[in-house]
Structure 1
Amino acid sequence: MKLFEKSKQEIIEQLIIIANNFEATKENYLLSYPHFLNYFKNIESINLENVIIGISFTYSWMPTILKSIKLENPENIISILNDAKNGKQINEKGLSILKTAFNNSLVGTSKLLHFINPNHYAIWDSRVFRFLNNEEPHKYKLEKPEAYLKYLKLIEDLKTEKIFKDFYKLMIEKVGYQITEHRALELAFFKGK
């Protein structure tokens, strides 16, 4: 399965157009975003209470409610999230564990991971998938940990493109405060739907 249909150059060119048209005043999410980041930034080590609070506010950014938190092995979940906070790349198994714990949703899991470590994890959702693939997302494609890891690799690759710095600077100007490279890319993908 080829996950992303567009070339890196084509993606960046489209993102610059999106960034030029971005209007921060129309984005309610921009208000809560730095507060969600600060919550985890100000925590030295994630504990169970932080997990419950974090996944709960994460779902304020979801179109569905949080119906299921499965914490059969909370120590394992906490360990994986602390690894993410400390910059460790979570593998497919770890993503599957988190996904199962949090509403069986990789989308929700990706948002939580982004709030925990916005420099290493990007938000993954149906709008991002639609932008990158020019097709409607099917749950079996969207919810695969392998697809999310390929997405993170694509982000790393896009950051090496020559015109990425111009795009990134423009997105920071448009948003009105400092954001990570991961956030700049994901936000433009989201707006490009």
Structure 2
Amino acid sequence: MPVSSNQEILDQIIRIAKKNSYKNQSNYLLSYPYFIEYFKNNEIITLENIVIGISFTYSWMPTILKTIELKNAEDILRILNNVKKGILIKETELWILKKTFNNSLVGTSKLLHFINPEQYAIWDSRVFQFLYHEKPYKYKLEQPALYLEYLQLIQNLIDETNFDIFFQLMTKSIGYQISPFRALELAFFIGE
């Protein structure tokens, strides 16, 4: 778990939200609603959606997409369609997806977020460093169990009484509606 308490994290990200304005600042903010809309407009995720989705997901990555392993296509489709329906992913399923998409939990987390931004947050080295105050070594960053703990932390923060203060500030500074999961992850990413 993070080294700071929930209240300390909220105090810190409220400061971050107060001093930043993100409107029209980057292609990440420009492309974000389109990526979300892509999966929102597809009732059922197909292999075509997966290939297109992971490809645009990697436009947000510092590395290129080298492998998409679709041998387990039936499992992958089941997992991602369950994610879209709101069924929480299991650790074993995260391992399957990670192996499928460049063996990257970071890339997988971004795809999960684009499919269901209300229950999944983006996970990367900057988020890890913000929460744990240590170097994000790959062997730590790429652990599905840690990602699931992160999702639980986000849910716990959303349930805190002063979360709404942060969320309103963040939504205002972004300039369009985002999910609470996205607001928290973006604040962690920006850090202080």
The interval holding the TM-score normalised by the smaller chain is: over 0.9
Q: Which amino acid in 1 is paired with 2:176?
A: Y
Corresponding residue for residue 2 of structure 2: 4
Structure 1: state its 5+ residue gaps. Answer: none
| Secondary structure of residue in 1 paired with 2:149 | helix
Structure 2: state its 5+ residue gaps. Answer: none
In 2, the alpha carbon distance for the partners of 1:18 and 1:121 equals 21
Question: Aligned-pair distance for 1:161?
Answer: 1.2
Question: Aligned-pair distance for 1:27?
Answer: 3.0
In 1, the alpha carbon distance for the partners of 2:27 and 2:77 equals 30
Q: Which amino acid in 1 is paired with 2:15?
A: I
Question: Aligned-pair distance for 1:4?
Answer: 1.1
- Structure 2 counterparts to residues 101-116 of structure 1, below 5 A: 101-116=100-115
TM-score, normalization by structure 1: 0.97
Q: Which amino acid in 1 is paired with 2:150?
A: Y
- Structure 2 counterparts to residues 149-160 of structure 1, below 5 A: 149-160=148-159
In 2, the alpha carbon distance for the partners of 1:139 and 1:61 equals 18
Q: Which amino acid in 2 is paired with 1:118?
A: P
Corresponding residue for residue 133 of structure 1: 132
**What is the count of residue pairs matched by the alignment?**
191
Q: Which amino acid in 1 is paired with 2:18?
A: N
Corresponding residue for residue 180 of structure 1: 179
- Structure 2 counterparts to residues 9-24 of structure 1, below 5 A: 9-24=7-22
- Asked whether 1:117 is paired with 2:123, we answer no
In 2, the alpha carbon distance for the partners of 1:123 and 1:88 equals 17
Question: Aligned-pair distance for 1:156?
Answer: 0.5
Runs of 4+ in structure 1 off by over 3 angstroms are: none
Q: Which amino acid in 2 is paired with 1:190?
A: F
In 2, the alpha carbon distance for the partners of 1:130 and 1:16 equals 18
In 2, the alpha carbon distance for the partners of 1:27 and 1:99 equals 27
Corresponding residue for residue 38 of structure 1: 37
In 2, the alpha carbon distance for the partners of 1:84 and 1:37 equals 14
- Aligned-pair identity (%): 61
RMSD (CA atoms): 0.8
| Secondary structure of residue in 1 paired with 2:96 | helix
